[in-house]
């Protein structure tokens, strides 16, 4: 079985600084596809921060407050 490819994307404009981490309980360092694990827990944390300067001006193609412009 092939390992899945994963990606995280943040839609919208502007530069972002992001970080993620996970805490795994009752799982080995490498899990085996198709094997059942009991009482497993995964806590995943993802943070992102907009790093561009806020100017109050709409960005490319964005003309309203929620960013759903043309």
What pTM, to 2 d.p., does this model score?
Answer: 0.48
Phi, psi of 16, deg, nearest 5 = -130, 150
First to last CA, the chain: 43
Closest by Cα among 20, 24, 23, 25 to 45: 20
Q: What is the pLDDT of residues 24-52, one digit of tens each?
A: 999 998 888 889 999 999 999 988 887 76
- What is the band of 55 on the pLDDT scale with cuts at 50, 70, 90? low
Cα–Cα dist 14/40, whole Å? 37
């Amino acid at each position: 079985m092939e390992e899945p490819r994963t990606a995280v994307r943040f839609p919208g404009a502007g530069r972002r600084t992001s970080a993620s981490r996970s805490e795994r309980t009752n799982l080995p360092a490498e899990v085996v596809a198709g094997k059942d694990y009991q009482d497993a827990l995964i806590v995943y944390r993802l943070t992102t921060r907009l790093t561009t300067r806020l100017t109050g001006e709409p960005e490319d193609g964005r003309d309203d407050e929620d960013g759903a412009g043309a």
